[in-house]
Structure 1
Amino acid sequence: MAGLEDLKRRLQPIFFDADGNVVPPPAADGTSDDSSSDDCEVLDGGTVNLLSRSSDEYNISKLGFHKRTTRPDGDYATDKAYRCSCHDMHIFDSVGNGASSVVYRAIYVPVHRVLALKKINIFDKERRQQILNEIRTLSAASCYPGLVEFQGVFYTPDSGEIYFALEYMDGGSLADIIRVKKFITEPVLSHMLQKVLLALRYLHEVRRLVHRDIKPANLLLNLKGDTKITDFGVTSGLHDSVTMCATFLGSVTYMSPERIRNENYSYAADIWSLGLTALECATGRYPYDVNGGEADLMLQILEDPSPTPPQHMHSEEFCLFIDACLQKDADARPTCDEKYEGPGVDLAEYNRSVHDPAERLSQIAHANQYSL
């Protein structure tokens, strides 16, 4: 109990949902108080209108969505549409569950393509900002190689659900690989890290975004050998190089020390999360003790020396990369430009080796059967 009381004295109040994710603190009336929340309105005809504080307006219906950006003089500067209808989808089965969503495998009938449908309830006020974050990030980079490809979003009025149509990553996540293989060998992991670092560099340097939830479950693979970042529900934008985030959101497990202390933070927070993720994948276990609960875990991250890879099992270059990512001082961490590179491997062959061939053939058969 001493550890918990110490944490309470040192930190501002922290609130968690049922899945261990940090959420905005409740307001005085008991509701969630997120200063960046945006307005939501259900219009006649089954259309959801999401109005962003950045003057972006999103009209989402069962036929897809329109994005409009308004100039200061009131005129529309841009008008972009995505047609992705609920009638164009044939849903097969659930392939995963997150803290706020369920993901299904589906066929996009017009082109007979397998997609992932991510379902979120629009009437859950705490999730609306996540929906807007996902739409903003994905629609602006729908085909960037290191991010999961975005096909569109639609609304089903009968259920009140928003569905994101995303690229189906048939290789699962790094968390799935750890469960099957126990750990990821250094040569394979180094190539995965190269792809993730390129995507993070795009988010940081081009989009000015902090992902805020890098972890094994949010790094996805496909059987072609790609590794991509997903889940942009808690991203935060930095409008210039000196702006810092101050919001406490994301998975505590991979949260950097400056975020746990409720200090301002920036892109280096993602580098810490990537370092922990890489270390977990390389060793097959999360490097901190999680048995004592969230408060004890946060104290370990703040007070204990940063974890390091077993030097007798990993190369000096890999150990130096992990040590650099897990510097307690955020300014001492590398940027995405400073990469770790290892020997060449065939990621496509490796990703295929993880999965049961019979299960893969069954998935292909289901898709082909519907197409026929």
Structure 2
Amino acid sequence: LKDFEIGKGLGKGQFGQVHMVRTKAAPNYILAIKCIKKKKLQALDGGKQFRREVEIQSHLLHPNILRLYGYFFDEEQVYLMLEYAGGGELFRKLRDARDGRFDEPTAAKYIAQVTDGLTYLHSKRIIHRDIKPENLLLSLNGDIKIADFGWSVHAPSDRRTTHCGTPIYLAPEIARGKHEVYSRAVDLWALGVLIYELVTGDPPYDSNAQPRSVANRRTFLALLFRRSPTSLTPPSPIFSTSQLLKHAPSERLPLPKVKQHVWIQRHVRTSRSSQSGKTSQGSSVSATTVEH
């Protein structure tokens, strides 16, 4: 830790805090250091979940996934050296947006980038299992960085039974519990919830709905889309949302088709056109550097 200048706090989690730091040695890289108390890890599950998180994230290399460069430890804490996401949480950006929601071009850009990141994860047989705005960070350039791999799992057989995740984003097959087998399709469900939330500012069903209500198909259909958004331009993103929020995992829209959806293609193309002529800055460099 003595090799870093400790900067502002970036957030506080279940096991510790995250700080922005700068390396003392040139060329003065800026990183995020996640400080995790060993006692809390041991008290939870002996550190098993943490070791899995580090093992998975340290092997990932994609522009829309937060990099984990390495870790070190002392007697009391473990320190993760993470890519600095200077744009903060997507959750906070959504909360501060006008009317608590994004305009369609902005939402489409974010969804396209989350889709790219998930496509990469699934190609590596990794299920994230906790996609939500709080776990999506933004780079200084405003690009998505999928973060927080605490619930992620490497599943070569694409079959899991562990009950985990955030209730409002839980797919029915997880919400039902009872060791029901599920696959990477749970991430597709969460993506459907995310799309709706980004363009309307609300979840697609009552946020007070219990997971068991979502698990029951008839009850869920009564809850779904209770607030019909009127401000969305055709073709509406609600189409892709409804194709992702299918009770049968095999019926959910595959990630390549999400990316090809006309709503995303139109708005991403518009966004690219508006950026033409501007100098782009790489989002996949190993770390941010600072000139004195």
Q: Verify the 8 A CA contact 1:188 1:347 in the aligned structure 2.
A: no
RMSD: 2.4
User: 2:284 is matched with which residue?
Assistant: none
Residue 301, structure 1, aligned to residue 214, structure 2: yes
Mapped partners of 1:323, 1:271: distance in 2? 11
Shift of 1:337: 1.4
Mapped partners of 1:346, 1:222: distance in 2? 17
Mapped partners of 2:182, 2:213: distance in 1? 19
User: 1:319 is matched with which residue?
Assistant: 238
The one-letter code matched in structure 1 to 2:213 is Q
Shift of 1:165: 1.0
Residue 231, structure 1, aligned to residue 148, structure 2: yes
Residue 257, structure 1, aligned to residue 169, structure 2: no
User: 2:4 is matched with which residue?
Assistant: 89
Mapped partners of 1:135, 1:261: distance in 2? 29
User: 2:95 is matched with which residue?
Assistant: 179
Mapped partners of 2:79, 2:237: distance in 1? 39
Q: 1:285 aligns with which of 190, 202, 225?
A: 202
Mapped partners of 1:321, 1:95: distance in 2? 34
The one-letter code matched in structure 2 to 1:117 is I
User: 2:69 is matched with which residue?
Assistant: 151
Mapped partners of 2:140, 2:195: distance in 1? 20
Mapped partners of 2:9, 2:204: distance in 1? 30
Q: 1:345 aligns with which of 267, 271, 274?
A: 271
Deviations for 1:121-166, whole angstroms, at most 9, x for unmatched residues?
A: 223232612321221122212x321211222111122xx2111111
Q: Verify the 8 A CA contact 1:151 1:167 in the aligned structure 2.
A: yes
TM-score (norm 2): 0.81
Shift of 1:273: 0.8
Q: 1:188 aligns with which of 86, 106, 116?
A: 106
Shift of 1:311: 5.1
Q: Verify the 8 A CA contact 1:129 1:233 in the aligned structure 2.
A: no
The answer for unaligned runs of 5 or more in structure 1 is 1-85, 350-363
The answer for unaligned runs of 5 or more in structure 2 is 276-287
Distance 1:101 1:325, change over 3 A: farther
Shift of 1:108: 2.4
Shift of 1:348: 11
> Aligned with 1:202: secondary structure?
helix
User: 1:137 is matched with which residue?
Assistant: 56
Q: Verify the 8 A CA contact 1:288 1:300 in the aligned structure 2.
A: no
Mapped partners of 1:134, 1:198: distance in 2? 20
The one-letter code matched in structure 2 to 1:250 is G
> Which structure has greater strand proportion?
1
Q: Verify the 8 A CA contact 1:130 1:232 in the aligned structure 2.
A: no
The one-letter code matched in structure 2 to 1:328 is H
* Alignment of structure 1 residues 1-372 onto 2, 5 Å: 86-110=1-25, 111-123=27-39, 124-125=41-42, 126=44, 128-141=47-60, 143-157=61-75, 160-181=76-97, 182-205=100-123, 207-240=124-157, 243-262=158-177, 263-291=180-208, 296-302=209-215, 303-305=219-221, 307-308=224-225, 310=228, 312-314=230-232, 315-338=234-257, 339=259, 340=261, 341=264, 342-343=266-267, 344-345=270-271
Q: Verify the 8 A CA contact 1:289 1:297 in the aligned structure 2.
A: no
> Aligned with 1:220: secondary structure?
strand
User: 1:5 is matched with which residue?
Assistant: none
The one-letter code matched in structure 1 to 2:174 is R
Q: Verify the 8 A CA contact 2:176 2:212 in the aligned structure 1.
A: no
Shift of 1:106: 1.2
Deviations for 1:329-371, whole angstroms, at most 9, x for unmatched residues?
A: 111102221123232226998xxxxxxxxxxxxxx9xx97xx8
The one-letter code matched in structure 2 to 1:277 is L
> Aligned with 1:337: secondary structure?
helix
The one-letter code matched in structure 2 to 1:285 is D
Report how many aligned residue pairs link the two structures.
Answer: 259
Instruction: Report 1 or 2 for greater relative contact order, CA contacts < 8 Å, sequence distance ≥ 6.
Output: 2
Distance 1:313 1:275, change over 3 A: same
The one-letter code matched in structure 2 to 1:174 is L
In terms of Rg, which structure is larger? 1
Mapped partners of 2:49, 2:243: distance in 1? 31
The one-letter code matched in structure 1 to 2:137 is L
Shift of 1:264: 0.9
User: 1:55 is matched with which residue?
Assistant: none
The one-letter code matched in structure 2 to 1:276 is V
Mapped partners of 1:346, 1:279: distance in 2? 23
Q: Verify the 8 A CA contact 1:215 1:273 in the aligned structure 2.
A: yes
Which of structure 1's runs of 4+ aligned residues deviate more than 6 A?
none
